[in-house]
Amino acid sequence: MTTATPTVGAGVQPPAPLTRAARVRKRLNSRTATLVSIVLALLWTIPTFGLFISSFRPEDQIKTTGWWTFFRDPQFTLQNYQDVLFSTGSSGQLASYFINSLAITIPSVLFPIAFASLAAYALAWINFKGRDWLYIGIFALQIVPLQMALVPLLRFFSTGVTLGGVQILPAWDLVDEQKFAQVWFAHTCFALPFAVYLLHNFISQLPGDLMEAARVDGATHPKIFRTIVLPLITPALAAIGIFQFLWVWNDLLVALIFAGGGDETAPLTVRLAELAGTRGNEWQRLTAGAFVSIVVPLLVFLSLQRYFVRGLLAGSVKG
């Protein structure tokens, strides 16, 4: 006896197999993944919540009891914020350092994004000799520790470049606010390898037919980049922008080395490191100061978060 094999009825199409991206999305939307995400979010948020509560507690309460005791004996004060934002002397004036941090961070985000997007487009859609080796070299630069480049960069800024006794590039000799340029240069150099790598993965997967149709219509590479590529890579640009903004805003080492610790150029992180006092006994100021420093990166992330996941997944899956 033979059994009939079920066949698909006439006109009925079999269900299309799930793509890799769809399978990943399905797993991430499961109940288990949702529960794990909620638990991780709570664990990640608890320290920030404790910092927020402590920033409104009086000094004697902060130094004698944990933040969780606030629910037993709630006491509020705005004195901590008053001290760190507006008080004169060594205990505050964070407001002026906010301007320095913004002056460092905004150009240090825009420069690498602009250069990396141009480089990624060239490496993805312009054929030239040595293109693949150049891309491999840029990718390999990601493994170079930042600390290894600090001394060569500092020497480059202070003495310039000399080859065979001939001065090729002069020393920068910058003072006061001019030192911001050194920080911009350093952060741009450190950010470019990862930014080029991520944007290359995104741009290289754009439809080739779209580029070919634009060339047939007479579009040059600058026009294709400006009118077609840039609008399509917005999620990747936003993801890189968030990463770079958080990195530069929270940076202490690079800014301290290349901009110095003076009031004219020091960012917010340098001031936060000084708030606890020389003996570390004034750390109640750190609660308010640290939470003040969180506000701007938090606003940046919330304003761009809808692009964040799409940008992170750019080029990671196909189909």
Per-residue pLDDT of the chain (319 residues; tens, 9 = 90+): 555 555 555 555 666 566 666 666 666 677 888 888 889 988 988 888 888 888 888 888 888 888 888 888 888 888 888 878 776 655 556 777 888 889 999 999 999 999 999 999 999 888 888 888 999 998 888 888 888 888 888 888 888 788 877 778 777 877 778 888 889 999 999 999 999 998 998 888 888 888 888 888 888 888 888 888 888 888 888 888 888 998 999 888 888 888 877 777 888 888 887 776 655 566 777 888 888 888 888 888 888 777 766 655 554 444 4
What's the pLDDT at 170?
A: 78
What's the pLDDT at 118?
A: 93
Task: Give phi and psi for 300, each to the nearest 5.
Answer: -65, -45
User: 47, 43, 79: which is closest to 61 by C-alpha?
Assistant: 79
Residue 264's identity, in one-letter code, is: E
| Secondary structure (3-state) at 165 | coil
Q: Supply the Cα-derived Rg of the chain in whole angstroms.
A: 26
How far apart are the C-alpha atoms of 105 and 259, rounded to whole Å?
13
What residue ranges of the chain are covered by domains with CATH 1.10.3720.10? 89-313
Q: How many CB atoms lie within 10 A of CB 311?
A: 23
How far apart are the C-alpha atoms of 15 and 26, rounded to whole Å?
16
User: 45, 75, 52: which is closest to 287 by C-alpha?
Assistant: 52
Specify whether the CB–CB gap between 62 and 282 falls below 8 A.
no
Specify whether the CB–CB gap between 262 and 203 falls below 8 A.
no
Between helix 284-312 and helix 94-125 the angle, nearest 10°, is 20
Sole residue written with tokens 């930042």: 146
What's the pLDDT at 306?
A: 73
Q: Which residues of 280-296 are buried (b: 16+ CB within 10 A; e: fewer)?
A: eebebbbbbbbbbbeeb
Domain 89-313 has CATH 1.10.3720.10: yes
User: 289, 267, 293, 265: which is closest to 277 by C-alpha?
Assistant: 289
What's the pLDDT at 120?
A: 92
What's the pLDDT at 92?
A: 57
CA contacts within 13 A on the Cβ side of 163? 3
What's the pLDDT at 315?
A: 47
What are the DSSP calls for 9-47, one per residue? PTTPPPPPPPPHHHHHHHHHTSHHHHHHHHHHHHHHHHH
pTM tops 0.85 = no
Residue 295's identity, in one-letter code, is: V
